[in-house]
Amino acid sequence: MPILPNNSSRRYHPFFDENLKLVSYCPLCDSHYNLLEARILEEQEGASLIYIRCRKCQSSILALIFNNHMGVSSVGLVTDLNPEEVLRYRSAGEVAEDDVLWSYQYLQKIDTVVELLG
Ligand SMILES: [Zn+2]
């Protein structure tokens, strides 16, 4: 599946270009991505999860590309996760109330220790 425009003479419809702009250019520094740096993390029928790191500014994006009878579209976000973390957290469970409470109490203990040391 050709997911990104390349240097061939093939022409894309403007709608197609607009949807793929996210995965063609870095949203932070506007550099053109080298497609060899794109990594497909997961593929399911009609959808691909792609991770791209910008060579120039080192930022990363996660993009979900849909390719179905409606055409090609994409959604994406800037992330500070690496590809392995994306896959790990993707299969992680939801954050429960107890997790939040535990984190709060843990941070309070750290504050107490810092105060005692200060
Ligand atoms: Zn960049």
| Residue among 79, 6, 12 at smallest CA distance from 49 | 79
Torsion sign across C-alpha atoms 73, 30, 81, 104:
negative
Under a CB-based contact definition with an 8 Å cutoff, are residues 77 and 61 in contact?
yes
Domain of 109 in residue numbering reads as 14-117
Residue 7 lies in a domain: no
> How many Å lie between the centroid of ligand 1 and the Cα of residue 61?
10
End-to-end CA distance of the chain: 59
Residue 4 lies in a domain: no
> How many Å lie between the centroid of ligand 1 and the Cα of residue 22?
12
Whole-number Å distance between alpha carbons of 51 and 48: 10
pLDDT category at 14 given cuts 50, 70, 90 is very low
Residue 56 lies in a domain: yes
Residue 50 lies in a domain: yes
Residue 39 lies in a domain: yes
What tens digit of pLDDT does each residue of 50-109 get? 899 998 899 999 988 888 887 888 888 899 999 999 988 887 888 889 989 999 999 998
> How many Å lie between the centroid of ligand 1 and the Cα of residue 64?
18
Task: Name the DSSP class of 31.
Answer: P
- Structural domains in the chain (count): 1
Residue 6 lies in a domain: no
Under a CB-based contact definition with an 8 Å cutoff, are residues 65 and 48 in contact?
yes
